[in-house]
Amino acid sequence: MACWLFKTEPQEFSIDQLAASSSGPARWDGIRNYQARNYLRDKVAVGDSVLIYHSGCKIPGIAGSATVVRSGYPDPAQFDPKSPWFDPAANPASPRWFAVDICFDRKFSRLLPARNLKRVPELNDMVLFRQGRLSVQPVSEKERSFILQLADATHLHSDDKV
């Protein structure tokens, strides 16, 4: 099982909105970056876990997790002229953009702010900090378990507040 980090602007789609749709899966669509597209199309698999990252907001950070329930399929929005993600060059015969479906897993009891995570040596190599502007990115197993540990840590030392 692989792990991924998906970025979203919470004012557009937040962990709370994902939680509210827990009765059914949510489509992760509108990804218009080729590197991210390649992950969605070729790598993201059913059962993979996803860390939900809030970006472009007051406190950017990891807000919770989800599970992939449907692997890559053509993003319908690329063919919809009314959609903000419409791509006039997209061709149904060879779709350009892909989506996956995810199901809400949990919202962390506290947000894990990126600026704190950045200082954690174990997380220095995260793609999140190595490469900007990538909205779908792989997370190593070590990074994943470390992050979940942080999310569940109940007693933190004052000099250790991540």
Partner DNA sequence: GCCAACGTTGGC
Instruction: Please state, in angstroms and rounded to a whole number, the distance separating the CA atoms of residues 8 and 45.
Output: 20
Residue 162: CB minimum distance to DNA, A = 14
Contact segment (CB under 7 A) with DNA among 70-78, 96-104, 131-139, 144-152 equals 131-139
Among 1, 16, 17, 34, binds DNA (CB under 7 A): 34
Contact segment (CB under 7 A) with DNA among 28-36, 41-49, 119-127, 141-149 equals 28-36
Residue 131, both tokens = 């490469």
- Give the contacts of 83 (CB within 8 A, at least 6 positions apart): 77
- Kindly state the helix (H) or strand (E) to which residue 77 belongs, with its residue range: none
Residue 96: CB minimum distance to DNA, A = 10
- Cβ–Cβ contacts within 10 Å for residue 82, how many? 6
- Residue 43 contacts residue 36 (beta carbons within 8 Å): no
- Give the contacts of 119 (CB within 8 A, at least 6 positions apart): 162
Residue 115 as a binder of DNA (CB under 7 A): the answer is yes
Instruction: Please state, in angstroms and rounded to a whole number, the distance separating the CA atoms of residues 4 and 96.
Output: 21
Instruction: Please state, in angstroms and rounded to a whole number, the distance separating the CA atoms of residues 138 and 160.
Output: 26
Contact segment (CB under 7 A) with DNA among 40-48, 102-110, 130-138, 139-147 equals 130-138
CB nearer to DNA: pick between 57 and 103: 57
- Write b or e for each residue in 100-109: b if 16 or more Cβ atoms lie within 10 A of its Cβ, otherwise e: bbbbbbebbe
- Per-residue binding string, DNA, 71-90, x by CB under 7 A, is --------------------
Among 21, 33, 67, 83, binds DNA (CB under 7 A): 33
Among 132, 152, 157, 159, binds DNA (CB under 7 A): 132
- By CB under 7 A, name the binding residues for DNA: 7, 9, 32-35, 55-57, 60, 114-115, 118, 131-135
